Structure 1
């Protein structure tokens, strides 16, 4: 009697120390963590993290930090971001996007460009926004979406967010009597939910709305990103090898451009690497800064105190010796 074939197991990933930043073009349908784990295994990176979640529906730029680059990931989370989104008018969903269940459907009233622009202007600037109940925000140590999926009643408090731009790109379908769609451009600060912006826009227009499509275009300091799709990375690894794949990574210094820069010499770098501060005066006072050596290699993050002294905050492992990472791009 023939024995059934056992399912083939994937070989276990042998991870390695790897430092650098990948500008991933996240595909639709994956959570940010799922996308992170895919590329971490692809690169065999011991340590990885992403800088700012994208919903499974969303595509576009997801900066992924490997190794020592994870030490600057927290600062990138608060960076300014830009999106292009398509709002579907007339239907409100429980998740505020197309993946949710419809809650309410209303006819879309006759709308003009002026009326749409006026509503968009109301939602621009420093505004108060109520995040979606289906979000990664935590309450009692648990994400809100987990509570919502169990059917718990959730009250989400409004909070202040910065919306630098909320502009209409195209309303041709709506104005021509077709699908009630608006294509919109958004630039915003940390903690802003595009789903909430679209939901609130729909209420201002008197018909409700949800996000039908969402793509992140850029995140500071990556304003003109060269993004890599999962398919392209997999193809590179298969046909060109791991060394060529590693060349897709940016060095950690590329992610440090948003911080004011402070340069130190080799002796000063060694003092910082031992956890000792440096007398100033350094600038700007009272700020977190990017510390670089005389050759422009990033050593990590520090803080300048009120007297101008420089203290180490989160330094890279090579800060005290000046030696670079053994593997990867950092």
Structure 2
């Protein structure tokens, strides 16, 4: 029986990171019941399944999942791990969430931007730098996430002045893969805590325009890569067998 472990799970776009962890937990419990195994205390409702770093709902890619006692190891994947992404940004338009799920808030001329200008802009973001977290983020302020305040403000019209969260980040690699104006795609390797939405916003701003993320895929978290990520057994439902979960644990 699976009581603990770490594994990589592929999160498709359109569902939350929490959805994935809950479905994995349900799979562990339901498969045991189907097999006629009486769940032990470790499989009680308090049995833990957690993830080591949220992916936005619109995004896809790797979630590092901890099972049971190994949930304690997830902190190192949240704070001290190199991560890699493939990102597509659109220049000339931005949204309140800095991604494709948000409402358009501003447009600005972008046709002056050339490939060489974009490549020089990307080069300027290499190394250690500072970054402000986007308004729509999981960072806490007075016990609630910044995203909660932002969504509440959209319905009530009452905004809360939240101090900007500025953090030190390191971008070790930022490579242009394609520039098909007004869209561009980049491959990024960076420190934990780096927001791709803020990065695309900052790149656009350095080019005297605005921008937002249209596609985001997290391709690696430390030793975990998409190649070894546990995927759904069917396209219709995000469900896994116990054997596929065991195989993913063995891969790690």
* TM-score normalised by L of structure 1: 0.65
RMSD over aligned Cα atoms: 2.0
1:26 matches 2:28: no
- In structure 1, the partner of 2:50 is 49
Structure 2 unaligned blocks of 5 or more: 30-42, 154-158
Residues 170, 138 of structure 1: alpha-carbon distance in 2 compared, 3 angstrom cutoff: same
Shift, 1:66, TM fit: 0.5
What SS is found at the alignment partner of 1:248? Answer: helix
Shift, 1:91, TM fit: 0.7
- In structure 2, the partner of 1:134 is 136
Maintained 8 Å contact 1:109/1:207: no
- In structure 2, the partner of 1:58 is 59
Shift, 1:235, TM fit: 6.6
Residues 150, 124 of structure 1: alpha-carbon distance in 2 compared, 3 angstrom cutoff: same
Q: Deviations over 1:149-189 (max 9, x none)?
A: 12123331322111111211111x22xxxxx1101111110
1:164 matches 2:172: yes
- In structure 2, the partner of 1:321 is none
Shift, 1:230, TM fit: 2.7
Please, which moves more after superposition, 219-228 or 29-38?
219-228
- In structure 2, the partner of 1:69 is 70
* TM-score normalised by L of structure 2: 0.83
Maintained 8 Å contact 1:138/1:144: yes
Structure 1 unaligned blocks of 5 or more: 1-15, 175-179, 255-330
- In structure 2, the partner of 1:94 is 96
Shift, 1:133, TM fit: 0.6
Residues 90, 221 of structure 1: alpha-carbon distance in 2 compared, 3 angstrom cutoff: same
Shift, 1:234, TM fit: 5.8
Residue of 20, 25, 31 corresponding to 1:35:
20
Residues 19, 60 of structure 1: alpha-carbon distance in 2 compared, 3 angstrom cutoff: same
Q: Deviations over 1:79-118 (max 9, x none)?
A: 1100001001111111110101111012212322221011
Q: Greater helix percent: which structure?
A: 2
Shift, 1:135, TM fit: 0.2
What SS is found at the alignment partner of 2:106? Answer: strand
Q: Deviations over 1:174-220 (max 9, x none)?
A: 2xxxxx11011111101110100001111111221000000000010
Shift, 1:225, TM fit: 3.9
Compare CA radii of gyration and give the structure with the larger one: 1
Maintained 8 Å contact 2:230/2:245: no
Maintained 8 Å contact 1:126/1:160: yes
**Alignment size in residue pairs:** 227
Question: How far, CA to CA, are the matches of 1:94 and 1:228 in structure 2?
Answer: 33
- In structure 2, the partner of 1:248 is 247
Shift, 1:236, TM fit: 5.5
